[in-house]
Structure 1
């Protein structure tokens, strides 16, 4: 990771952060998508790009991480950034796409036109679905918190000694991790986490961000990304796996592939933004995590804009915790 110190007298910079995706349900965001003018405008172009209604597909799908759930999450994230630009003073110096948020960052940074980014999101989602119908159906990725590194190491060693597969898929904050393991041992692992005072937040299936998904990375590169002309970002992007700056088309393409088989790491992103004078981050999207992390709220003025805040503009979250 390369960072440059900034002059303490330099005007405070800002960044936009597109969050990772949690379970996306039509019942949670359908009303917002139907009435929000920024979403409705984006949906017209998204429907045209796909040749069918995103809302209809999302409503009928019934899968929290399905193809249309992913497209809806992508559209909502960018629409909320549109709203922040028009009504919330968003004019960022840097852009971050965390996990799934990379797709929104690719479009927002100008590296790929919106309609093309919609198609990219859909094709990657289908590619992943086909892959997981064939491989690694037994794996899940669990997010845990309040688990010190040393204690986690001991628990993971126990899995190793039993011959159980596991990988750390995410380094989110102090004591907060994403762990990929077999679904058959998920319940016993959660009990072990609880026994040391930790908490299990949610699990994702299919899994994400681990070395065993190298074949998925190769398939996505060959069958999906090869069909898109991704340009250099007009706005510098901070990579979510190591905090490096992404300024070229090749770097951005590599970042989109790296997310498949490398863990995500939020602390290096925070370090890079701070080192470059960022004092405010706008988290635009249905975020359940990034805007609440201690490392985020300690380091920045956080402006969180999700569907609920957008429906109640006066209550948009903005805070800095010491």
Structure 2
């Protein structure tokens, strides 16, 4: 791993939560950085992203995904121009990999727009045919040993389950049949944990290898990725992605590899990173204990950008930031 005594900076693109026009539409219409990216995206798709986003009913539909992607990249643009951000490395958590692909130079922005759109449609088609009974639950305040005990109970009953992610101490993602979700949540509550939100369709598990294969054949094969100009840290094992082939593999790994945030933090620290800028709508990454203990964290989301007279929110390091109560959100991909 590359190490240095010089303080370095990283930009992190967060995952996607439920995204509705009523939440970010005003920001997208008035922010100059977003408007510039929107114009390019509209040209790439041959239609208005805002119109598609405004009329879409689904929180995670293709235009909601494009909007989330655009906002993350545009907020990074804003940080570069107004905050002097000059990152040495970047990382994308789950859906944030799409923004990392564009920001790192692995794909031109307009190509990354088309990639995001086509992957969203590919995923939609897949889940209309496969694994309609699965959900992925994010839970917190459950130690590893306790989680293994509860998962063992599922195994004893012959219930399918996979760990889809480890986000922080005691915070995990677990995929299971939707029919056992409520009973599993009650069991998590009984051992002192909280169920935060569930994702449907599911994500980040080995059983989705078919989706990976379909995305590779139907979508990724049409795009010529380049070596990223900025190193990218993989969100499942913390490895450095520095070639086009590695970037392609990373985009596919997100379908059938569990996400793990600790290795990303370890890699960034090993590179000498002391400050991370989290650009995009985020309720998770910039608040995690493992993040705030390791770095000075600068969060720049739409809500901060709409308050230009105030400095971007800074999360103090070495402070607790674990959610204290269940969230009503369904998904944070």
Q: TM-score range by the shorter chain?
A: over 0.9
How much does 1:315 deviate?
4.3
Alignment partner, residue 207 of structure 1: 202
Q: Secondary structure at the residue paired with 1:34?
A: helix
2:302 to 285, 303, 307: 307
Q: Which residue of the partner structure matches residue 72 of structure 1? A: 67
Matches within 5 A, 1:42-191: 42-191=37-186
The aligned residue for residue 318 of structure 1 is 314
Aligned to 2:321: none
CA change 1:139–1:311 in 2 (3 A) is same
CA distance in 2, matches of 1:233, 1:297: 27
Gaps of 5+ in 2: 319-333
Aligned counterpart in structure 2 of residue 6 of structure 1, from 4, 7, 12: 4
Cα deviation 1:48-103 (Å, max 9, x = unaligned) = 11011111101111101111010000001001001101101111000101100000
2:256 to 242, 254, 261: 261
- Report 1:6-45 matches (<5 A): 6-7=4-5, 10=6, 12-45=7-40
Cα distance between partner residues in 1 of 2:226 and 2:27:
32
* Corresponding position of 1:291: 286
TM-score by length of 2: 0.94
- Alignment partner, residue 250 of structure 1: 245
CA distance in 2, matches of 1:230, 1:15: 22
Three-state SS of the structure 1 residue aligned to 2:229 is: coil
State the Cα distance separating 1:6 from its structure 2 match.
2.7
In structure 2, the residue corresponding to 1:14 is in which secondary structure? strand
- Secondary structure of the corresponding residue to residue 242 of structure 1: coil
Q: Which runs of 5+ in 1 are unaligned?
A: none
With the length of structure 1 as denominator, give the TM-score of the two structures.
0.97
How big is the shift at 1:316? 1.5
* Number of positions where the alignment pairs a residue of Structure 1 with one of Structure 2: 317
| Offset at residue 252 of structure 1 (A) | 0.5
How far apart in 2 are the matches of 1:227 and 1:321? 42
SS at match of 2:12: strand
Provide the rounded CA distance (Å) in 1 between the counterparts of 2:19 and 2:159: 30
Query: In structure 2, how many angstroms separate the alpha carbons of the residues matched to 1:6 and 1:37?
Result: 36
The CA deviation at 1:320 is 2.7
